[in-house]
Structure 1
């Protein structure tokens, strides 16, 4: 701290009253923290403010000391301040942290959320606390209670914790209108937001305050931030360890390095990007003997609290966790953070590593353990951007119509009846809805009225409560999609282990299946669909299926992928003339890492530089092709590449009349195209497609996608169009019928908007086409696959690899498939069909009626395909189903029962079955390993397939 900063310390505390200053002295707070020095004076003056600072830097006290000071001498009946946090776990922490101040200052602090008892709720209504800590959803419920509305009239301060997290979600959009509803009760109040580092704090400030002016208080964390990027080198010990851990040597090296980092530090958080990785990596670390717990949102609440407590007390050396631990859950002092694989985003790295080293003047230290060349390059770029403060902008949900529908019902609950234009005025005071048109608002009202959620008096422009309003509102307090989950219970102890998504249970789970949860192996003993309970028993290693939770990989933003492309361009040109070690040393001047790690990241680039192929960079696209596989090397990040990939697959599919397979990462789009499609067709589309048509083409392509149909069901529930959506019931209704029923409604418009917002980047993709067509973005082709084109993450290895699955796992796969049923259908006579267990299928299936071997092998529920084949005049869907049936029959005719086995696997269609069958192998176990690998790939990518 400089002399000037030290001198400003007393001035900050001097802005507070004598009672609070005395409490500060008693607590031992002689010198304010960096955020307190800057933020307390304007907050004490009652100004709105956004405080942007690292987790653990005293933001809570920064916000609450001026609030406590204002409340200390007030005489009021109701609640003086609300402290809103996005997680219930944060409620617990806030209560513990604020209790001392409240007791010392003779103030009451209480907590209210979904688990608060009826007795406690009654007490809070009759004798309101001075400060109430709550969640966004509970605020929604509080606004409708008669006694609580009286208590809320006295609110003068609202503090929103982790506002950066809320700003990018519909929960946050809902909260902004909820705060305007609160303002109708209490009048204007001070708004304080606490945020991790964001790229556009002014925009988040507008989000918080309804664009009413906001003091931005930023504390730079780049200078107290030390991150090492490491790519482990495989040792002889790792080769031995791989067998023990049932994995490959490179993965064993990752597990070993993480174990060493946990051992070398006092208390380490190990962040991973998905719950699947948390379970798989956790199981390998536990197998190695690492003293580590596992923490993520699908574990039982008691399990999460238990590991938090164990880590905080020092019983565990490490805690392996996902994004929920980015938020300020109190787990005690953390002295190091490990990030496994690239953190994908600058803000993620800052939030995660920012959890470490928060004693005064301590440096936040972390290590990114990379597993792939893309990971290395990406991590180097993200670390540099983090130091430079180049953080992504908050991706706010502007104008989400299901949020509007939800809050219209809330306003009717608040007032009993309200004028439609009065409701419109309240909604559009919230920043994300400033530009909502009156016509869109009226469409939402009419949809709600049609769904019997509210009563609309068109002539009088008045909204009223009706019988269904109460039920709708309380079933939809949260904007988190309502999706069924199954409790996982240990049959021996009767305790809950965690939860599984319904989609996983329906598609992959069955008695006898093995999966990982809490880092341990479990075998399913029973599935109770009525009670939504999966009963399991613990087993010993080795690995089985990894649970496929909702939630996709964190998308890599364009700004990161573009700099990776820039780095490729600079280093790639050098590698054509200079040894890799020398180039690594040069890269080291800008990107701080060991040269060995940089060299590992440059590996595929060096190989590429040895060819004559152009290098794909931030301003050059390279289209490569070989056979039916086309790779578009384009460094624009997940969302742009996903949009561009959908555009290409839609237009190529239209041109060929056949479906086009697609896989995407931040640096390449892989297309599996029908015969006759070439790289020239891809280049033509990129050069000739009107950028203004991108959104229309993408929306048309979404109509056949499972992603839209699934999203449509979730949004329909938020509009009251489906009274209580559960996946199984909705599946019986039929997603295609749902789409037909809701097209041309605000429900459909919102489902499309949400997918475009969360998964795609239409405007950026249109701009990319404009650059190609203006010549500022080069596009070149090469008639072979290149080292960069084939080095995507998809070619990496799993933590639990089918290649190393032992005999018991392979036998489990064999047994399951042999017991599965298939439809055998003769395409020659079209009279014979039977459902039969795979194990009972003859080596060469033959029709018993006509003797033909042209036998289609279909899923046991696929009667629609049989009907489609028999139909005379076929529509497009029936034509596709018929073509697929003939392709399976061709495989069965050529390969017999082996083809039936491959086709019976989950998510393995004719194309993938052909690849599995035609691969040369030494033994039958490898055949089943390939099936298992393909099933796992399908489980991970299922939501993307159309």
Structure 2
């Protein structure tokens, strides 16, 4: 098939005008599927490979050839910033074609939204939360707006694969399709899909069409990758045999008092370049930006550092994005995952990552921010730790971020492995949310009709009718829903307070936020504002609180010099078992990975020597002296949590367990009266027993884990935690393998 000639003339002109001499393989493969079949299509290819154009060139061709007075393509993205970026690209592509491109989120003007509602057409770009609002508040307009919907494009699909936000998105897609009586094809875009089969199944769940993922032969990609280690104070790990040539640039010779050498390393190696510095939390992002600005001030250099995270005001985030797009501005932006996804921020020279991200997917996405326009991707890990105290025990002598970073890189280099979707969960929190959303949008429904609408959504395939009946009975008791005289169900008084709050549109956890203002400028949001006179950190600077308006949730402040920690609420990350298993293998190997720099090589050698002397990693239970032990399961967060509870609930009495301390998912420390052989025998015996998953919950424990758990009956909260959070099957298998390994190592049968 001659793909180019099949494109609409305006698409051909766009290709000519941009000087493209040929189409990329992903664009040819996508066009053949979209033009010649009715399949759903998963387009998985490297960042900057042309996936967006691969999807939209055929879609736009179809839209021009078959116009309709309806939204014909729905584009769903996880971030408003990504929508804004793609809006500009698509608007440019569709100029003078008659195909309208619309966007709908909190920052879009009401006049633009009114025009869409009056004259629906073309492409609508939206976030899951805005789509939820749409379904509730514009319910009666859905058939009119979407009766000609033919395509749904889900960008950055990988970001939806392991959370209830993804479940919400696909529930909304199914609900909208049924309400508008349409059967749109789904097109998923992602640069970091590991298990193509599982992701395809997730993308197509509840759809009328087969889902395919075109195979594209990718050319070998060159990476520029380094990983360096720093203690936060000298001496460094390679102090005895330090070779300056091992660094990727000059070492800083001027630093503020008590400065962090790792931050100094970043300061020097971003000078005169356009870079991103990724952190794993908003707090760390603020701290790093403050420190980098201190370096600039100390060295009498202009401030060249920007900041970008979810708690900043849209204006400040936009300032950072615009500066990064400016080809002449050599600025460095400190960021969280908000710049991890596919926003076009111009020609970046390199990315820096402080410590290790939680996932291979995150590592690949962050590195993929660089390497555009023909240059190889470039990322530099900077691992930092405090010098261990002289009396520190074994677990504290291991640089876990360094070990984790090596494991993430090696898993992809060796196996091209990326985390698979989370499936087979019991998503009761989302079940509550979609139940309330359905009632709020549709009005009175019989229990049977409501159950039919909600339980038939593909994401709830594991939820039984008995469990749903239990939920509805509880919601009636708590006045979340009410029964009408005719026997129907409607949203109750207590439920109205939940549903009518704008925060209801999101299924991810949020904190009680206060907007921060300095004069006329909005800086962003914080949680738990301090008393008047205290300091806060936001936007990479320090401010003194002048006033707190708790009724309006506003904080007023003025800027001062200095550095203090920031706090935006708890951030949790779960790590997949395969990553911990590869970390264990790193300890056991003798090879020195080519991307490690001088300090990192020295620190890895020290770590391996320390582990070898202690008996790690072959032995998973290490005596720390007397009756104190350290236990290294080498497994992921959810199996680790289940094992932790097996020890504390099922084995504690037999082991006489006490002084239990856990650093999830790396190690546990405790005192016990048993020896090593007795420990493995006892945990094997207890794990092999036939017990309910609920037996690994503490007495009267109701572990709220997801946003809407507080509105669920206790029995469903406990069941969801036991069956969906605790990986008990994986834990049992792990325990049996550990016991078997111990027996083999000690010549036992």
TM-score where L is the length of structure 1: 0.68
Per-residue Cα deviation, 1:389-439 (whole angstroms, up to 9, x for no partner): 111212247331222222233333454444545544544554322232222
C-alpha contact (below 8 Å) 1:245/1:287 kept by paired residues = no
Deviates more, 1:347-356 or 1:662-671: 662-671
The reply to whether residue 299 of structure 1 matches residue 312 of structure 2 is yes
2:513 to 470, 480, 485: 485
**How much does 1:69 deviate?**
1.0
Instruction: Find the aligned partners of 1:325 and 1:397 in 2 and give their Cα distance.
Output: 30
Once residues 412 and 15 of structure 2 are traced to their aligned partners in structure 1, the CA distance between those partners, rounded to angstroms, is 34
> In structure 1, how many angstroms separate the alpha carbons of the residues matched to 2:436 and 2:195?
32
**1:788-799 residue pairs with structure 2 within 5 A?**
none
> Is 1:229 the equivalent of 2:227?
yes
Q: Residue deviations 1:543-585, cap 9 Å, x none? A: 4344253212x333221221221232243xxxxxxxxxxxxxx
- How has the CA–CA distance of structure 1 residues 42 and 605 changed in structure 2, closer, same or farther, with 3 Å as cutoff? same
Partner in structure 1 of residue 99 of structure 2: 107
After TM superposition, list the pairs within 5 Å mapping 1:59-208 onto structure 2.
Answer: 59-144=51-136, 145=138, 146-184=140-178, 185-208=180-203
- Aligned match of 2:213: 216
* Alpha-carbon contact 1:162-1:196 (below 8 Å) kept: yes
- Provide the rounded CA distance (Å) in 2 between the counterparts of 1:531 and 1:113: 23
2:251, 2:268 within 8 Å by CA — same for their partners in 1?
no
> Structure 2 vs 1, CA of residues 632 and 498 (structure 1 numbering), >3 Å: closer, same or farther?
same
Cα distance in 1 for residues equivalent to 2:95 and 2:342: 23
Following superposition of structure 1 onto structure 2, how do residues 352-367 of structure 1 map, counting pairs within 5 Å?
352-360=366-374, 362-367=375-380
The structural deviation recorded for 1:655 is 6.9
1:44 to 18, 35, 40: 35
Q: Partner of 1:743 in structure 2?
A: 714
Corresponding position of 1:308: 321
Structure with the larger RCO, 1 or 2 (CA within 8 Å, 6+ apart): 2
Q: Which has the higher helix share?
A: 1
In structure 2, the partner of 1:715 is 708
1:327 aligns with 2:341: yes
Kindly report the root-mean-square deviation, in angstroms, between the aligned alpha carbons of the 2 structures: 3.4
**In the TM superposition, what whole-angstrom CA distance separates every residue of 1:343-387 from its partner, at most 9, and x where no partner exists?**
332111111101111214x32121112235433333223212222
Please list the CA deviations of residues 190-239 of structure 1 after superposition, one character each: whole Å capped at 9, or x if unmatched.
Answer: 11111131222222222222254211135558734332222355779989
Does residue 648 (structure 1) correspond to residue 653 (structure 2)? The answer is no
Q: Say if 2:419 is the partner of 1:392.
A: yes
**Mapped contact 1:337–1:353 kept (Cα < 8 A):** yes
Give the aligned partner of residue 393 of structure 2: none
User: Against the structure 1 CA distance between its residues 510 and 408, is the aligned structure 2 distance closer, same or farther, given a 3 Å change threshold?
Assistant: same
- Counterpart-to-counterpart distance in 2, 1:447 and 1:124: 40
Report deviation, 1:318: 1.1
| Contact kept in structure 2, 1:428 and 1:435, CA below 8 Å | no
Name 2:571's counterpart in structure 1: 551
- Please name the residue that 2:586 is paired with: 567
Greater alpha carbon shift after TM alignment, 412-421 vs 93-102: 412-421
Say which is worse superposed, 422-431 or 288-297, in terms of deviation: 422-431
Distance 1:115 1:131 in 2: 18
Structure 1 gaps, min length 5: 1-9, 572-585, 722-741, 781-946
Q: CA deviation at 1:158?
A: 0.8
Unaligned 5+ segments in structure 2 are 231-235, 243-249, 297-302, 386-398
Secondary structure at 1:198 match in 2:
coil
Q: Which residue of 1 aligns with 2:396?
A: none
CA displacement 1:1-34 (0-9 Å, x = unmatched): xxxxxxxxx8333443445334433444442234
CA change 1:465–1:516 in 2 (3 A) is: closer
Instruction: State the alpha-carbon separation in 2 of the partners of residues 694 and 519 from structure 1.
Output: 49
Query: 1: distance between equivalents of 2:558 and 2:743?
Result: 56
- Determine the C-alpha separation between the residues in 2 that align with 1:272 and 1:656: 40
TM-superposed CA distance for 1:285, in Å, is 1.1
CA gap 1:434/1:639 in 2 versus in 1, 3 angstroms: closer
Q: Using the alignment, how far apart are the partners of 2:74 and 2:717 within structure 1?
A: 33
SS in 2 for 1:177: helix
Q: Which has the larger radius of gyration?
A: 1
Say whether the 8 Å CA contact 2:511–2:569 is kept in structure 1: no
Contact between 1:262 and 1:318, CA under 8 Å: does it hold in 2? yes
Aligned residues: 700
Which secondary structure does the structure 2 equivalent of 1:158 belong to?
Answer: strand
Paired residue for 2:616?
A: 615
Q: CA separation in 1, counterparts of 2:381 and 2:66?
A: 50
In structure 2, which of residues 434, 444, 458 is the aligned counterpart of residue 431 of structure 1?
A: 458
Question: Deviation per CA, 1:626-655, whole angstroms, max 9, x where unpaired?
Answer: 357532133224443343334334457667
Q: Distance in 2 between matches of 1:353 and 1:104?
A: 36
Alpha-carbon distance between aligned partners in 1 of 2:170 and 2:196, rounded to the nearest angstrom:
16
Q: 1:429/1:17 Cα in 2 relative to 1: closer, same or farther (>3 Å)? A: farther
Decide whether the 8 Å contact of 2:693 with 2:722 is kept in 1: no
* Aligned counterparts of 1:695 and 1:763: Cα–Cα separation in 2: 9
Change (3 A) 1:239 1:349: closer
In 2, distance between residues paired with 1:297 and 1:652? 43
